[in-house]
Amino acid sequence: MFLETWDPDNCKLLYETLLSLSEGAVIPETSLEHILQSFYNDFRTLLQTPRKSEQSLAELKLVGIIHLDGVKSKLNDTFISEALNLSNKLNLDEILSAKLIHYGIKNSKKLDRSILHTSLFLFYSRQKYLLNSLSIILLYAKNGLGNNELLKYFEQIIKLTFQENIEDPKKNTSCSEKCLHAMEDLRTQIFNIFYQKKN
């Protein structure tokens, strides 16, 4: 079973595993393969975040059931309202927003922030971990570091991350522009969310 990639602990695990690898640690190939494959789709959407959609909105409001931590969960009206509020603030897919709210609830006490502010913080922290992970992957691929099997996984991630937008070619930009756009204001956003006054 793949990792739940919207779990902030797993995003941190991805980055710390790659960082350890770059520092010379020996990572079992099966473990590394499992972590990387779990995040394939997340790298595919890293620079083109899934936006709000009528389909996800209908699924959240009418069905009210999503899979969280591998378990099917029935959502109450308060949870759905929080998820829709977050979706509006981030222009993020409603189902993914619900997952973020789930982890926002789990971490709000630890971070001593409201559920909404915690969820926002987790979203931008997740982006930061993925972008930092991508920078390590690009370094390995550019310099041909690691064995052939490892490079194969890294090259696949790079292809997924920088694939062109077939549906709307006008949105295609250079790799550097995509990265700069994704990182734009990320540090400021995290700072503002984390240090603003508690609700």
- Over residues 90-147, the pLDDT tens digits come to 999 999 999 999 999 999 999 999 999 999 999 999 999 999 999 999 988 888 787 8
How far apart CA 143 and CA 137 sit, in angstroms, is 10
The reported pTM is 0.81
Task: Dig out the tokens for 20 from the structure.
Answer: 């350890």
User: pLDDT value at position 197?
Assistant: 46
Question: Exposure string (b/e) for 76-97, b if CB count within 10 Å is 16 or more?
Answer: eeebbebbbebbeebebbbbbb
How far apart CA 128 and CA 122 sit, in angstroms, is 10
- For the chain, residues with pLDDT lower than 50 are 166, 169, 172, 197-199
56: how many CB neighbours lie within 10 A of its CB?
A: 21
How far apart CA 87 and CA 51 sit, in angstroms, is 8
| Residues β-bridged to residue 65 | 74
How far apart CA 11 and CA 126 sit, in angstroms, is 6
198: how many CB neighbours lie within 10 A of its CB?
A: 7
